[in-house]
Chain A
Amino acid sequence: GQNIDQPTEMTATEGAIVQINCTYQTSGFNGLFWYQQHAGEAPTFLSYNVLDGLEEKGRFSSFLSRSKGYSYLLLKELQMKDSASYLCAVKEGNKLVFGAGTILRVKS
């Protein structure tokens, strides 16, 4: 089976840095995705990690440690538009298994 845990909610201040953690237990690990989802909208792809280490993409970075079953999404220079849910998803075989998501609230 699979178990993916991420915090339910986080609050951060505009301009700051926030780290959203994701831990997982799974068999047949085949990569980890992060998606952003604004309320009532479709999830949109942010990042993908399959090897250990940090992937940087502009203000967003994602880290993976396969031995620890751990990933984080790092958002820098927070903007109000970053208020959204962030979904961690583990690829197991050919399927994605999603965590429940972390609601991030950015305050001014």
Chain B
Amino acid sequence: DADVTQTPRNRITKTGKRIMLECSQTKGHDRMYWYRQDPGLGLRLIYYSFDVKDINKGEISDGYSVSRQAQAKFSLSLESAIPNQTALYFCATSDPTSGHGTDTQYFGPGTRLTVL
């Protein structure tokens, strides 16, 4: 069973639509992250959360919002999708108290989003 799951895996939508991407984890990690990946640009941090009541903006939060519904769930919303939000979106989790304190991030399988 996958430790970090994302739904949907693929989504095609139109400009102006509201979209929600969901992430769930069974790793028991407190920290969760949302990234987008574009060709040639690498992974860029959108939002992150270190516990249920904690939400922080990342490098590219404009046009996005998040909700941390529970320790295991972290959702990313695009309020009004635009074509330049077409990208591969990854959720990740980490636990700073495990793995000799490395706080290694573990990634979900990704959601490929296309905005027409």
Chain A positions near chain B (C-beta within 8 angstroms): 8, 31, 33, 40-45, 48, 50, 87, 89, 91, 94-101
**Interface hits, B85-100 → A, CB 8 Å:** 88, 90, 96
Which A residues are in CB contact (< 8 Å) with B45? 95-97
- CB<8 Å pairs between A and B, sample of 5: A41-B109, A94-B103, A95-B45, A95-B48, A96-B45
Question: Are A48 and B102 in contact (CB-based, < 8 A)?
Answer: yes
Bound CA–CA A87/B42 (angstroms): 8
Which A residues are in CB contact (< 8 Å) with B12? none
Q: Which of B48, B104, B110 contacts A41 (CB 8 A)?
A: B110
5 nearest CB pairs, A to B: A42-B107, A100-B42, A98-B43, A98-B42, A48-B102
Q: Which of B44, B96, B110, B112 contacts A98 (CB 8 A)?
A: B44
Bound CA–CA A48/B48 (angstroms): 21
Q: A42-B110, A100-B40 are in contact. Are A33 and B104 (CB under 8 A)?
A: yes
Which B residues are in CB contact (< 8 Å) with A100? 40-42
Chain B positions near chain A (C-beta within 8 angstroms): 4, 40-45, 48, 50, 58, 88, 90, 96, 102-110, 112
B51 to chain A, nearest CB (A): 12
Which A residues are in CB contact (< 8 Å) with B109? 41-42
In this complex, what residue of B is CB-closest to A48?
A: B102
Which A residues are in CB contact (< 8 Å) with B102? 31, 48, 50
Which A residues are in CB contact (< 8 Å) with B43? 43, 87, 89, 96, 98
Which B residues are in CB contact (< 8 Å) with A42? 4, 90, 107-110
In this complex, what residue of B is CB-closest to A31?
A: B102
Bound CA–CA A89/B74 (angstroms): 23
In this complex, what residue of A is CB-closest to B107?
A: A42
Which B residues are in CB contact (< 8 Å) with A91? 103
Bound CA–CA A96/B34 (angstroms): 12
Which A residues are in CB contact (< 8 Å) with B88? 40
Bound CA–CA A44/B108 (angstroms): 10
A81 to chain B, nearest CB (A): 18
In this complex, what residue of B is CB-closest to A100?
A: B42
